[in-house]
């Protein structure tokens, strides 16, 4: 081979190397661009998921608050009913003691009802003849 031919071959080898280098550089750029796009899509998906979870969390908080309000309302009503049961039980005890006294004085047998355990058989409580006044306000501090 002549020197000119060797120079020409080495020139084409360099051109080939430059071409490969440029192709690799373009490939790397494209790969980096795709990687940035994937990363951006992942970030967008995460932000979307955050917003969805925040919305769900707000709904759950609202449901919990509603449940708490309902509980407090039922608890207040329960307190009123318990107070009324205690008042009725005391009234029944008083009436029974009056009936015992009447029975002893008159000598007649009276039908004196037993005082039921109101918490064991609440459906068997005697019906009140007068309304008992108790409200949720009397239990608030």
What pLDDT score does 53 carry? 97
What pLDDT score does 141 carry? 47
Segment 7-29 shows an average pLDDT of: 83
pLDDT tens per residue across span 36-89: 999 999 999 999 999 999 999 999 999 999 999 999 999 999 999 999 989 988
pLDDT tens per residue across span 87-127: 988 888 888 888 888 888 888 777 777 766 655 555 555 55
16-55 in b/e burial notation, b at 16+ Cβ within 10 A?
Answer: eeeeeeeeeeeeeeeeeeeeeeeeeeeeeeeeeeeeeeee
């Amino acid at each position: 081979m002549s020197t000119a031919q060797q120079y020409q071959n080495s020139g084409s080898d360099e051109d080939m190397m430059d071409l490969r280098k440029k192709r690799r550089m373009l490939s790397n750029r494209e790969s980096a661009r795709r990687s940035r796009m994937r990363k951006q899509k992942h970030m967008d998906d995460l932000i979307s998921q955050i917003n969805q979870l925040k919305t769900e969390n707000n709904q759950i908080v609202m449901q919990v608050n509603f449940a708490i309000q309902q509980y407090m309302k039922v608890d207040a009503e329960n307190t009123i009913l318990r107070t009324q049961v205690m008042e009725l039980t005391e009234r029944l005890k008083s009436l029974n003691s009056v009936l015992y006294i009447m029975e002893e004085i008159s000598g007649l047998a009276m039908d004196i009802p037993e005082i039921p355990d109101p918490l064991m058989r609440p459906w068997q409580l005697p019906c009140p003849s007068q309304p008992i006044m108790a409200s949720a306000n009397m239990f608030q501090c």
